[in-house]
Amino acid sequence: MDQDYEIVIGLEVHVELATDSKIFCPCPTAFGAPPNTQVCPVCLGLPGTLPVLNRQVLVLAIRAALALEATPAEHTKFDRKNYFYPDLPKAYQISQFDQPLALRGIIEITTPAGPKRIRITRVHMEEDAGKLLHPGADGRLGTAGSSLVDYNRTGVPLIEIVSEPDLRSADEAYAYLIALKEILQYAGVSDCNMEEGSLRCDANISVRLRGDQVLGTKAELKNMNSFKHIRSAIEYEARRQIRVLQEGGQVVQESRLWDEEKGVSYPMRSKEEAHDYRYFPEPDLPVITISAEMCEAISQSLPELPQARRQRFRQKYTLNEYNAGVLTSSRELADFFESMVDCQAPAQAACNWLTVELLGKLNAEGRRITQSPVGPEHLAELVRMIESGKISGKIGKQVFAEMYQSGRTPEDIVAKQGLSQISDPGVLEKVVDEVLAAHPGPIAEYRNGKTQTMGFLVGRVMQASQGKANPKLVNQILKERLDR
């Protein structure tokens, strides 16, 4: 990236709220239903119907606003955003214009230069549109000239979160999205499932010479739903604009789409006048007054948020920044860890077993912590067995693999397979003596000053005990015998 230029990015993120029914009608919001099976006269925009607000939409939207440190409005209302598009059966989208749900929030992100606070302009509620399918590529006659519409998504509740143009690189935009997703998931506002389109992002991008106070002309990258794609799209778009300027041209204000396969952005072909939305107050929906009591109750029910939890993990459990970050990346994972600690597993060991062994396995299989076959109590029990010396760390891994496979408790596995660590000196002395009797050579070497031989002999003893011997005791006994 050319160092003379500064990139300025603002993001508009659309997030699907985790409700059972749609925002203005009782149709289900479940993902993946066959086309046009979750529709009714209201969301199909049939004449004579009236929308009624789903109260849970308001509750979740306020939750999101509070979690983002934004201030909910005392009075808020819905407006009509008018445009013609086949995915919008009413020819208007019910959204919010001049009295949005909440204003002025903050998301703190981590950058190489330290923490940075990104301002949020506003949070508002709106309904989603339907889904357009463009068949024809399959070569079937009669479909090439048409698009197909599935209205199941129409009326699914969304919030739009608009940031100030405070982001200065694709990496910062990426960090912002990760932080936003974590907060919304913690707050239980949305599952933020990218594959199902629960989180989509538009990026406003402009470039300017470093030191310039005026913003450059922006282009808007529309409708991206993968964080990685967003990062590459922003990088590409910024480079494109810099090149245009360097070649003496001007950036055109326009909407563009990202083609991930080709790695390029290109202008949308829809007409500009479509952006004259002629907002006006939605006459079918009365205004909303948000009481202080309602805000207070919602605020009380918010869980500890990622940033605060990360800080607490570092202090309370003396974990390093990296580990605290990994453990708090989702609420479920952080809960799992704290359940282990509640079950008396020492924090650092619990962190290691959870993040290295369990997450390693789960990630390899594409499973989430909530789908783990090993629960926090059992993993904590395993950690305790190792810490107390009942089994060795090496055997621990073996037991863990078995737990993961069978779902059995570590105690059960250790007992049934006789894996307990041997710490009985009498038993160990016998094994040590057998090993020494079989290896006169190394003994002589050791006594001639080649003390490294000790390691070899310890290995032999461990092997003879199938890994069950207490290594500390083995060392002790061996040393005694050899130095005699």
Partner 1 sequence: MPEITEETVKKISRLANLRLDADETARFTEHLEKVLEYMRKLNQLDTTGIPQTAHALPKQNVWREDQVLPGLDRSEALAGAPDVRDDCFRVPRIIE
The answer to the question of residue 73 lying near Zn ion (CB under 5 A) is no
Q: Which residues partner with 21 through β-bridges?
A: 28
Cβ proximity to partner 1: between 20 and 321 the closer is 20
The answer to the question of residue 27 lying near Zn ion (CB under 5 A) is yes
Q: Please state the closest distance from residue 192 (CB atom) to Zn ion, in A.
A: 24
The answer to the question of residue 428 lying near Zn ion (CB under 5 A) is no
Q: Residue 86's binding partner, choosing from partner 1, Zn ion, none, with beta-carbon cut-off 5 to 8 A by kind?
A: partner 1
Q: How many CB atoms lie within 10 A of CB 30?
A: 12
Cβ proximity to Zn ion: between 43 and 234 the closer is 43
Half-sphere exposure in the Cβ direction for 137 (13 Å, CA)? 3
224 burial via Cβ count (<10 Å: 0-12, 13-18, 19+): buried
Size of the site for Zn ion (CB under 5 A): 5
Q: Please state the closest distance from residue 235 (CB atom) to partner 1, in A.
A: 22
Q: Residue 35's binding partner, choosing from Zn ion, partner 1, none, with beta-carbon cut-off 5 to 8 A by kind?
A: partner 1
Enumerate residues 6+ apart whose C-beta is below 8 A from 67: 183, 184, 186, 187, 189, 302, 305
Q: Which residues partner with 72 through β-bridges?
A: 102
Cβ proximity to partner 1: between 76 and 163 the closer is 76
The only residue of 40, 59, 294, 436 in contact with Zn ion, by rule CB under 5 A: 40
DSSP strand pairing (219-224 vs 255-259): parallel
| Dihedral angle sign, alpha carbons of residues 406, 408, 414, 416 | negative
The only residue of 43, 70, 422, 457 in contact with Zn ion, by rule CB under 5 A: 43
Cβ proximity to partner 1: between 23 and 192 the closer is 23
Cβ proximity to partner 1: between 41 and 393 the closer is 41
Question: Which span (19-27, 232-240, 361-369, 393-401) binds Zn ion, by CB under 5 A?
Answer: 19-27
Q: Please state the closest distance from residue 43 (CB atom) to Zn ion, in A.
A: 3
| Letter string b/e over residues 367-395, b meaning 16 or more CB atoms within 10 A of that residue's CB | eebeebebbbebbbbbbbbbeeebbbeeb
The answer to the question of residue 25 lying near Zn ion (CB under 5 A) is yes
Closest CA to 8 of 120, 121, 165, 162: 165
444 burial via Cβ count (<10 Å: 0-12, 13-18, 19+): exposed
Give the binding site for partner 1 (CB under 8 A).
Answer: 19-21, 25-28, 34-41, 43-44, 46, 52-58, 77, 82, 84-86, 91, 99, 132-136, 142-151, 257, 268-270, 273, 276, 278, 281, 283, 285-289
DSSP 389: T
Q: Please state the closest distance from residue 31 (CB atom) to partner 1, in A.
A: 14
Q: Residue 37's binding partner, choosing from partner 1, Zn ion, none, with beta-carbon cut-off 5 to 8 A by kind?
A: partner 1
Q: Residue 336's binding partner, choosing from Zn ion, partner 1, none, with beta-carbon cut-off 5 to 8 A by kind?
A: none
| Letter string b/e over residues 49-84, b meaning 16 or more CB atoms within 10 A of that residue's CB | eebebbeebbbbbbbbbbbbbbebbeebbbbbbbee
The answer to the question of residue 23 lying near Zn ion (CB under 5 A) is no
Residues at the site binding Zn ion, with contacts judged by CB under 5 A: 25, 27, 40, 42-43
